[in-house]
Amino acid sequence: MKEFVAEVVSIGRLRHRNLVQLLGYCRRKGELLLVYDYMPNGSLDKYLYDQPAATLNWSLRFKVIRGVASGLFYLHEEWEQVVVHRDVKASNVLLDGELNARLGDFGLARLYDHGTDPQTTHIVGTLGYLAPEHTRSGRATTHTDVFAFGAFLLEVACGKCQ
């Protein structure tokens, strides 16, 4: 519980236009829940797969890809610690009122200091987005996030689930 609260406090301090803002957490029926900003257009996968009311043209798709890339760069390079998301995929990208992409769902994220090695040893994430070296070593790094981002790029470009 102590580690969970420490990570919630850290992730709650992340501020970037392409990240969903973590507002806090609550405990409900013994389960810990994270509370994020409301995104009126829901998740990106709805626009890629679920017969959406609006279709994403190439301009919007590029805007989404650029937004997620910007958010990942902030997490990996610009924030005070390195944040490895560990689950980059269309269902974890939310769209605000103007269809700007915001990376969300930091439930699997891990933080570590710049210049140090991550201490993750469990393989977590979604099949199809997991880097081969992650499945062999169990270590999640910024490189494994970049691999997942590549799978995400194919998903957005092709409209096919990984």
The dihedrals phi and psi of 5, each to the nearest 5 degrees, come to: -65, -40
Other CB atoms within a 10 A radius of the CB of residue 121 amount to 9
DSSP class of residue 41? T
For helices 58-73 and 142-158, the axis angle rounded to 10 degrees is 170
Residue of 37, 45, 50, 87 marked catalytic: 87
For tokens 């092709």, name the residue.
158
Question: For the chain, how many residues are written?
Answer: 162
Q: Which residues pair with 84 in a beta bridge?
A: 110
Residue 87 among the catalytic residues: yes
Q: Which residues contact 13 (CB under 8 A, 6 or more apart)?
A: none
Tell me how far apart the 2 most distant CA atoms of the chain are, in Å: 46
How far is the C-alpha of 64 from the C-alpha of 66, rounded, in Å? Answer: 5
Active site residues: 87
